[in-house]
Structure 1
Amino acid sequence: MDTPIVAAINIGDIYSQCGISRPCDFDDNPSRVHFLAFETKFNEITFQLPTSLLLNEDMEFEGFGYEAEQKYISLLENGTHKSYYFFRRFRMQLHSSISHCSDVNIYTFDGTKKLPMVFIFSLVIRFFRLRVTSHLSIRFGVVDDEISWILTFPDSWTGLYERLFHEAARKGGLKFGCFSTLSESTAYIKFCKRIKEEQIGTKLVIVDCGLRHIFRNETMTELHHESIGILDGTSIDRDIRSLLRAVIGPDIYCGNQNRHPERDQFLREVQANICRNSLPVSVKVPLSWQQRIQMAMEDERYKDKIYLTGDKLRIANNWIFERFEVAFSQYMENVNRLIDKTIPNEIVIMGDLSHIPIVTQFIKSNITAHYGKSVEDKLAAVEGALVFGHTPKLTALVDSKYKFLIELSQSDLLSANMGNDNKLRENVRTVSLSSVLDKSEYKIKVLQDRIQYPIKEINFDDVEVHEKVIFLSDPLSQIVLDDKHEIADIFSDIYHQEWSDSLESLIENGYSEKKGVFLLINILRESQSLVCKFIQAQLWQVAAIFNPELNDVECSFELPDEIRDEVKAWQRINFKEYIPHVQEYCENELSKKSFLPEFRNWSLTNYMKSIVSNVWRMTVSEPEMYLDWTFQENTKIDNSVVQLFNKSGEFLDYPVWPAIYGGKEGNILRKAIVQAK
């Protein structure tokens, strides 16, 4: 066979897919694609599998997708799961930080064990390879050497992850020279070029419903949350989990899934209801929950939100719709601002969440501009990869992080003059901002007597595509820098998630509740102090440029307001590039503190990292956000600024979590949590 059959594999954050395209079919109609089909637990046929992998105690393959999830649920119910390795949505772990070592590991779903990235991905690739080769061998008599493989990877992966992914493909049984890798955004472009009608004046608008954040420095990062759920990490998912925690109580909704596996099963069913558009959500609950739910229904806060019908908890449609409306409101403003209303627009909705009807319906109903048609395709990455596999020489791989733009002024770069000279002028010199606390280098540009933002060169390797396409951020997981309400939301989420999991872990290790709370508060306070020290060191390095006599980071110095403001802006915008190093520095310093326990499990480490990242954003905000710890024992509780922890009373015993303000003299954004007596 002169022209090989092309097979594409997309191992996604939430779902994974695999497709096949024969040369004869592609020549007749590029849309003629065969997707591997699988059966769900609802006896439905799907072309997607959950990105879940189960291994036994000997690290041998037990199942992937729905098979892995169902087997793991059975193991949980029988209490025989502890020796198994269950990985769920494991690709998300590779977006949260950049590893600088060759040994990249992925943690199991419960965070107790880990295995190398190469090993995990090689098993998944092998799973799809065997399915494809078996199918083609039976149907067409095709052997391995007659298949060309295309594997997609997320745009946030850089050199190391790409190299390890390539190694995983080899260990998964793909022969050298018989496979290629392709970024997901490039696959999207190939898909869109195939479906786009050649109509002069029509603009293609791609709405990417993956799990991505867009930042104003034109970079993209993907979201990582160690939580369960089809809407992992989104504000909607957080609302569902917060509602469940409030209704059934934190003792059941805790970080230890081994003690309460029914919680995970319940959340899976809720998410499945939403994905199937089965509304109102109605899920069977354990008998032990029903009395708590009945008590919660009498609370005014949950009136018209939840109902108990027999043994099923129903969540009202209005509450679900309101959650989507809140999550989408700011996003849809950005969408409508970017769309040119004077010309026809074609809307393409794709990504992991594009299969949820309520998502696509909301997007289409809230677009104010005229659009000729809309396309939803949850399999776009695979289809685009297959197009690339048949026409590899026609695709120029581009640096995808410059394709994701959010500001209207930035979108004008798409039609920029290619003749512009982007080189730095001679009077611009690069200055290292490597902190004395952290030896890694971060560079800014200094022009004579003032600091500029880093100049980024934009490559237009595929000009025709770039002039036609605008990528929009994910509506369900947007973070807009400098938005203090967003920062406050994340701070609140840390309390509900990482803080709660850490407290549960401390109690299991012999701490009293009060002692555990004080330990977590100390970690927060010390982290805030260390972050301020790190930021001050960066400012000192800039000051040393203008005053070479400065020789000690602890000495006093003055910076012109204009320069200080620009450095602070640089710290706000680019923090994702170096926050892993700040986290490492703070973790090392905290480990020297006497109050920190000798054991530091996954939940406590994750709490420290989340705190450092969020406190950094608070500190570099303008004005600096303020945490209020000033709550005195035996003072009367003021419900306007505090919420109660798990006891009722009129007087304060001790603070549990600080209040957060927009500034020292600003408005309160989130109330403090206190224990009453």
Structure 2
Amino acid sequence: MLAMKVFTAVIQHLKGQLLETCEVKKVEVFSSDVRWVLTLPAIWSDRSKQFMRECAQQKRNMKDTPYILSAAIDFGTTFSGYAFSTQYEYKQSPLKVSNMTWTAGSGNLMSLKTSTCILFSPNGNFHSFGFDAEDKYADLLDNQKHHSWYFFRRFKMSLYEQENISRTMTIRDQNGKEMLAMKVFSSSIQFLKDHLLAKCKERGTEVFMSDIRWVLTMPAIWSDKAKQFMRESAEKAGIPGAQLVMALEAEAAALYCKYLPVSDLAVGQAGNVSIFKPGAKYMVLDMGGGTVDITVHQVEEGLQLKEIHMANGGDWGGTMVDIEFENLLTDILGPEVFNKFKREQVSDLLELQRSFETKKRCIHSASDSKITFTLPCSLLDIFEEINQGTSVEEKVANNKDYANNLTWKNDKLRMKSEIAKKLFEPSLRKILDHVTDLLQKPDVADIDAIILVGGFSECPILQSEISKRFANKRLVIPNQAGLAVLTGAVINGHELEAVTERISRLTYGVDAISTFIPGLHDPRLMMIGEDGVVHCRGVFSIHVRAGETVPVGLSCQPQQYVVMEKDQKRLPVRLYTTEDPNPIYVIEEGATSIGELIVDMPDTTKGLNRGVDVVLTFGGAEIEVKALDMHTQKEFNAYFNFLG
């Protein structure tokens, strides 16, 4: 075996153990925050010293790293969970994974995922996560002791909605108090990680952290900033970065479906036929609480997957239906009533949201019967307090939109199915129109099937409307569609090369200076170099174009960058993106700076005669970078900083 591989593995293991110890002692650091010291005998030759330095700088090759367990964390907008399997279990059956069953203290709700809620004590320390956090917060509310606590719910969407994502950004809790977003995310991941390790121990699968390949799911439509934020949150939670795989949710779901027997696929009217055969094309609609993530694949020989249209989607998930339901109650009762209910009866609000989450998965498109919702008595009490002398029945009877369509008596709200269906309209319209547009594109038009996964896809009304609109496509809905991403992510940990090609969603490049071309370049950007040559500054030097097919693991052509100062120890290169496949300048409309590529160059002995050949690798869930000395091709430490 290569000596460098052996030495590198030992150093990586010790480094991981040290970072774990830091975490146990609550010394929160990233690997990049640490000044590492490696001891060597003074009598060693310069060759030996350089050998050890390069071993320490080697990046871990995930494919060659031994592991025992693939452990996945599915961090969702509404619900989160984890699953895992050993290599032995995977080889027996890829679908053989272990899950956790979560129980909510109130409502006797049992689920294979828990609520994405987290509670911190008044001093900012982590208290609980999931259903436990909801139930504890409800108790605090009942006793009016909640004001100084921090309760966060459905906070994942902040990474989709905010453009300026940074390590120092804050998010607001239910009461408007702020906390560092990275603390909220990393504490959530740490809880799921620790819970998973405890579950492994409980079932007799005791492993060291160094034996685990961790997989963290995320939407493909997320920005590079959001992806780096999640990676650093996971590292802060104690997951070694070298052991962490980022899995795209829709792709993970496709891996799950690939292994399902045909009998476990609930298939629409086009027939019960397997779609995972070489040459087949399909679209995955991963419909979660926050986002709808859409990917189009073609099945290759060996059943590997190739992306044939860039990942896309939007914030049209199940929470849009929740918002419409709350808007309906606000419209019936009045804003003053419902806002007071949300402020003062948060425990009842949480129970209402839980019950609606279950109820919306039972609303059928073809149903003509009335739908009954059980509402908290406190909601009616607040209405009567504010509207003295008027009953809610009278309020409904006097509303022309609702008089003949719904009734409200005591804690029961009964409405015609037409009204219930309207709650889904904003989300459905976005999804149906978007998929219709996609099917007009030549590379998508001939797909064989549409696969529905994610918790929101379990709603019958959603399934029915998609089936009707796209009747000429086979509709595939796996059993337990809400677990497709989580189970698929575990499989992804075992199959790192399951996807062979992806389509770049954006054009990536850097701010460069090039030879000025009259008639092409803007004269205002012209500059004369020290060598007397006329240059153009601010040129968008392209590494990969939007819409371009990028084989996974295939590196782009190297681009060379040189230092500008003789004592410069760090070479920063600003990275830009745009949706335009043919940009000319980094300052044109639509071009955005997403951060820097940084190369550490501590040796300044060659002064200005220093530079690097930078190789970017696209096609994976994250961009990878390698920087080589332009003279010796020795690798330097290079990394992205998208978070400022």
TM bucket, shorter chain: 0.5 to 0.7
Match in the other structure for 1:283: 375
| Alignment of structure 1 residues 127-526 onto 2, 5 Å | 127-145=191-209, 146-195=211-260, 197-199=275-277, 202-210=280-288, 211-212=290-291, 220=312, 222-223=314-315, 231-232=318-319, 234=320, 236-254=321-339, 257-261=342-346, 264-265=349-350, 267-268=352-353, 271-277=356-362, 279-286=371-378, 287-288=380-381, 289=383, 291-299=390-398, 300-325=400-425, 327-329=427-429, 331-332=431-432, 334-335=434-435, 338=438, 345-371=448-474, 373-375=476-478, 377-395=481-499, 398=502, 401=505, 429=521, 456-461=546-551
Instruction: Choose between structure 1 and 2: higher strand proportion.
Output: 2
Highest CA radius of gyration, 1 or 2?
Answer: 2
SS of the aligned residue for 1:127 comes to helix
Over 3 Å counting, the alpha-carbon distance change for 1:319 and 1:135 in structure 2 is same
Question: Shift of the alpha carbon at 1:77?
Answer: 2.7
1:114 to 172, 175, 178: 178
Question: Shift of the alpha carbon at 1:348?
Answer: 1.2
Check conservation: 1:155, 1:185, Cα contact below 8 A: yes
Match in the other structure for 1:75: 140
Which ranges of 4 or more aligned residues in structure 1 deviate by more than 4 Å?
Answer: 192-197, 217-222, 336-344, 393-400, 425-433
Check conservation: 1:5, 1:20, Cα contact below 8 A: yes
Question: Shift of the alpha carbon at 1:53?
Answer: 0.5
SS of the aligned residue for 1:59 comes to coil
Question: Shift of the alpha carbon at 1:91?
Answer: 0.9
Match in the other structure for 1:494: none
Match in the other structure for 1:485: none
Check conservation: 1:155, 1:401, Cα contact below 8 A: no
Check conservation: 1:52, 1:65, Cα contact below 8 A: yes
Question: Shift of the alpha carbon at 1:296?
Answer: 1.6
Give me the whole-angstrom Cα distance separating, in 2, the residues matched to 1:388 and 1:351: 17
Give me the whole-angstrom Cα distance separating, in 1, the residues matched to 2:186 and 2:237: 4
Question: Shift of the alpha carbon at 1:174?
Answer: 2.1
Give me the whole-angstrom Cα distance separating, in 2, the residues matched to 1:105 and 1:180: 26
2:168 to 85, 103, 106: 103
TM-score for both structures, normalised by structure 2: 0.57
Over 3 Å counting, the alpha-carbon distance change for 1:20 and 1:400 in structure 2 is farther
| Alignment of structure 1 residues 617-656 onto 2, 5 Å | none
CA deviation profile, 1:524-571 (whole Å, cap 9, x unmatched): xxxxxxxxxxxxxxxxxxxxxxxxxxxxxxxxxxxxxxxxxxxxxx98
Check conservation: 1:87, 1:109, Cα contact below 8 A: yes
TM-score for both structures, normalised by structure 1: 0.55
Match in the other structure for 2:20: none
Question: Shift of the alpha carbon at 1:209?
Answer: 1.5
How many pairs align? 426
Check conservation: 1:231, 1:271, Cα contact below 8 A: no
Root-mean-square deviation (Å): 4.2
1:123 to 144, 167, 187: 187
Over 3 Å counting, the alpha-carbon distance change for 1:262 and 1:158 in structure 2 is closer
Question: Shift of the alpha carbon at 1:132?
Answer: 1.4
Give me the whole-angstrom Cα distance separating, in 2, the residues matched to 1:192 and 1:388: 12
SS of the aligned residue for 2:470 comes to coil
Give me the whole-angstrom Cα distance separating, in 2, the residues matched to 1:331 and 1:221: 8
Over 3 Å counting, the alpha-carbon distance change for 1:360 and 1:379 in structure 2 is same
Question: Shift of the alpha carbon at 1:295?
Answer: 2.4
Check conservation: 1:431, 1:444, Cα contact below 8 A: no
Question: Shift of the alpha carbon at 1:428?
Answer: 5.2
CA deviation profile, 1:294-327 (whole Å, cap 9, x unmatched): 2222222211333123332333322112333564
